Amino acid sequence: MKGTLKFGMVGAAALALAITSAPVAAEDGPTSADLMNDASTPGDVLTYGMGPQAQRFSTLDQVNTSNVKDLVPAYAASLGGEKQRGQESQPLVYDGVIYVTGSYSRLFAFDSHTGEKLWEYDARLPDGIMPCCDVVNRGAAIHGDKIIFATLDAHLVALDRKTGKVVWNKKMADYQAGYSATAAPLIVKDMVIYGNSGGEFGIVGEIQARNVDTGELIWTRPTVEGNMGTLNGQPNGITGKTNASWPGDMWKTGGGATWLGGTYDPETNLIYMGTGNPGPWNSHDRPGDNLYTSSTLAINPDTGKIVWHYQTTPHDGWDFDGVNEFIPFDAKVNGKPMKLGAKADRNGYFYVLDRTNGKLVSASKFVMETTWANGINLKTGRPNFIDANRPGAPNGSEKGTSVFSSPSFLGGKNWMPMAYSKQTGLFYIPSNDWGMDIWNEPIAYKKGAAYLGAGFTIRPIAEDHIGALRAMDPATGKIVWEYKNKAPLWGGVLTTAGDLVFTGTPEGYLKAFDAKTGQELWKFNTGSGVVGSPITWTQDGEQYVAVMSGWGGAVPLWGGEVAKTFKEISQGGMLWVFKLPKR
């Protein structure tokens, strides 16, 4: 404990004062070093992604391919209320408590042994919030005595993790201009690193770093070329070079939302942050590559500067947000050990990059078809565009030529995080096979209004499935196995040293697969669609698995012709926790 003795006070009185007036020390709870170690401490889950690299791999093997069939519920806990929309959260577990965020910006603490609710925090949201894709939240961050999450009105809120009382509450951006927030915060070196949402409203993507104890702003880094970053309140350099890849003033409303947050690699000291679509969707309004939208950015957390970038979809015209998680991993390339990173992009390609410099190593299709490009040029790193499949320019006030495009704008993969098994060396990608008719329309920017300039209808492209969980070998770019699901997959993936892969389905199941073969080994119906990310940890010598259940997210809002695959699914809001029966 920290305490401050004042001069002139001696003995027991001074000591008592020191103890009673001591602020709750930051050492009371996980430190930034503990967060960096999260992947190797299976007794807790301290970070979104189960480690700053977000591999979602657990070293636990008590539950494994031979006994997972016996997995049963230990308990379940309801989020209650009428706010049963998409539950895309990943729980955290620390010191006998499960922390989980819920739809409509709620945060809950449950006893990790019994599921009893300890406290609940409900953000008081204003009436005009503008989330594009359901009122979801993907998780919290823990540090010291605090639990931190973002709210749909673009605030970042730190709560006392024991009581749920607000410690600080900071406005990140103006929700009335279309900004919102749904990602889980990332904590690096006692800073909360956060990316904004709102790419469908002509916002400017930005990453902010704040002091974890006070919420005070340390640096900002806009993602759209031409906008100025800050450090300690001072200008800290323009992002890119103004008008190098944007015409006129388009960069002032250029999108590039960092709405899925980021990963961090302690070995390279880089934050990897994906950026969303450029605004508006109509690409004919903004000739150029439109940096740094639809990209992965590597950012130095000490300076807030971009160290490298890799743009997966230059001059995007299909809403191919490049926000997907970039997962660091180590492997040999042509016999040489390399620090790599992988990303399964919304555009349907799985990219492996050198994570020290952003150089492309390989790019492989992981979906049934990509109509917009025919592969990625390994020399230039750019897609081989199929120009005829870009939606046409509007003609005066008339809409432009409609094209069929696959993947659909909801992506070969959307927000739902993949996992990497250190044991099999495979990535497990929750993907979808679907296309869309898409066309462009005239559009002008108006504050707080949708800024698309496009229309669309989503369509299935296969008879038997939309969702597909795919095991990708990053060394060969080949799909080793796949599991097809009738409805679109929209939940995160977990893999374990027990050679298991867990993921949920809209039909309500949490399922376990053999990590090597893809054989389905276990399933349990949670009563509503599973679009959350499962976790596992060990407690009192037993391995637990937990996942949120509660159907929602972007799919039912934008589903078009694919909606018939999930029209009977009920909403919900439950935390489910499983373990093996006691022997």
Nearest distance from C-beta of residue 300 to Ca ion, angstroms: 26
What is the helix (H) or strand (E) element at residue 34, kind and residue range?
helix 32-36
Nearest distance from C-beta of residue 378 to Ca ion, angstroms: 27
Collapse the DSSP code of 536 into the 3-class scheme (helix H, G, I; strand E, B; otherwise coil) and give the result. strand
Return the number of other C-beta atoms located less than 10 Å from residue 397's C-beta: 7
Q: Which range, of 80-88, 185-193, 196-204, 386-394, touches Ca ion by CB under 5 A?
A: 196-204
Nearest distance from C-beta of residue 531 to Ca ion, angstroms: 18
Collapse the DSSP code of 294 into the 3-class scheme (helix H, G, I; strand E, B; otherwise coil) and give the result. coil
Interaction of residue 277 with Ca ion, rule CB under 5 A: yes
Q: Annotated catalytic, 319? A: yes
Nearest distance from C-beta of residue 60 to Ca ion, angstroms: 10
Q: What is the 3-state secondary structure (H, E, C) of 179-221?
A: CECCCCCEEECCEEEEECECCCCCCECEEEEEECCCCCEEEEE
Nearest-CA neighbor of 272 among 240, 312, 237?
312
Contacts with 47 (C-beta within 8 Å, 6 or more apart), sequence order: 35, 38, 54, 92, 141, 186, 187
Give the CA angle between residues 165, 166, 170 to the nearest 5°.
170
In the bound state with Ca ion, the residue whose beta carbon lies nearer, of 469 and 531, is: 531
**Cα separation of 544 and 73, whole Å?**
10
In the bound state with Ca ion, the residue whose beta carbon lies nearer, of 196 and 277, is: 277
Interaction of residue 321 with Ca ion, rule CB under 5 A: yes
In the bound state with Ca ion, the residue whose beta carbon lies nearer, of 38 and 206, is: 38
Interaction of residue 289 with Ca ion, rule CB under 5 A: no
Amino acid identity for residue 500 in this structure: L
Q: 562 φ, ψ to 5°?
A: -85, -5
Nearest distance from C-beta of residue 485 to Ca ion, angstroms: 23
In the bound state with Ca ion, the residue whose beta carbon lies nearer, of 421 and 549, is: 421
Nearest distance from C-beta of residue 46 to Ca ion, angstroms: 5
| β strands within 84-199, DSSP E | 92-94, 97-102, 106-111, 117-122, 141-143, 146-151, 155-160, 166-171, 186-188, 191-195
**Cα separation of 54 and 263, whole Å?**
6
Q: Which range, of 37-45, 111-119, 466-474, 567-575, touches Ca ion by CB under 5 A?
A: 37-45
Interaction of residue 199 with Ca ion, rule CB under 5 A: yes
Q: Which range, of 85-93, 99-107, 212-220, 268-276, touches Ca ion by CB under 5 A?
A: 268-276
Q: Which range, of 214-222, 274-282, 423-431, 509-517, touches Ca ion by CB under 5 A?
A: 274-282
Nearest-CA neighbor of 304 among 148, 185, 143, 194?
194
The answer to whether the bond into 407 is cis (omega within 30° of 0) is yes
**Cα separation of 489 and 415, whole Å?**
11
In the bound state with Ca ion, the residue whose beta carbon lies nearer, of 223 and 277, is: 277
In the bound state with Ca ion, the residue whose beta carbon lies nearer, of 277 and 312, is: 277
Catalytic residue among 145, 153, 265, 319: 319
Q: Which range, of 79-87, 198-206, 450-458, 503-511, touches Ca ion by CB under 5 A?
A: 198-206
In the bound state with Ca ion, the residue whose beta carbon lies nearer, of 41 and 67, is: 41
- What's the gap between Cα 237 and its chain centre? 27
Nearest distance from C-beta of residue 38 to Ca ion, angstroms: 4
Interaction of residue 44 with Ca ion, rule CB under 5 A: yes
In the bound state with Ca ion, the residue whose beta carbon lies nearer, of 38 and 433, is: 38
Closest residue to Ca ion in the complex (CB) = 41
Residue of the chain from 35, 36, 38, 140 that contacts Ca ion (CB under 5 A): 38
Please report the sign of the dihedral spanned by the C-alpha atoms of residue 32, residue 38, residue 44, residue 50.
positive
Q: Which tokens is 490 given?
A: 């929209």
Residue of the chain from 153, 319, 499, 514 that contacts Ca ion (CB under 5 A): 319
Nearest distance from C-beta of residue 42 to Ca ion, angstroms: 6
Q: Find the binding residues for Ca ion in span 79-98 (CB under 5 A).
A: none
In the bound state with Ca ion, the residue whose beta carbon lies nearer, of 292 and 513, is: 292
Interaction of residue 41 with Ca ion, rule CB under 5 A: yes
Amino acid identity for residue 34 in this structure: D
**Overall size of the chain counted in residues:** 583
How many residues lie near Ca ion (CB under 5 A)? Answer: 8
Q: Which range, of 123-131, 195-203, 443-451, 466-474, touches Ca ion by CB under 5 A?
A: 195-203
Nearest distance from C-beta of residue 41 to Ca ion, angstroms: 4
Q: Which tokens is 419 given?
A: 């996992």
DSSP symbol at 139: B
Task: Give the residue numbers annotated as catalytic, written as ranges.
Answer: 319
Contact residues for Ca ion, defined by CB under 5 A = 38, 41, 44, 199, 276-277, 319, 321
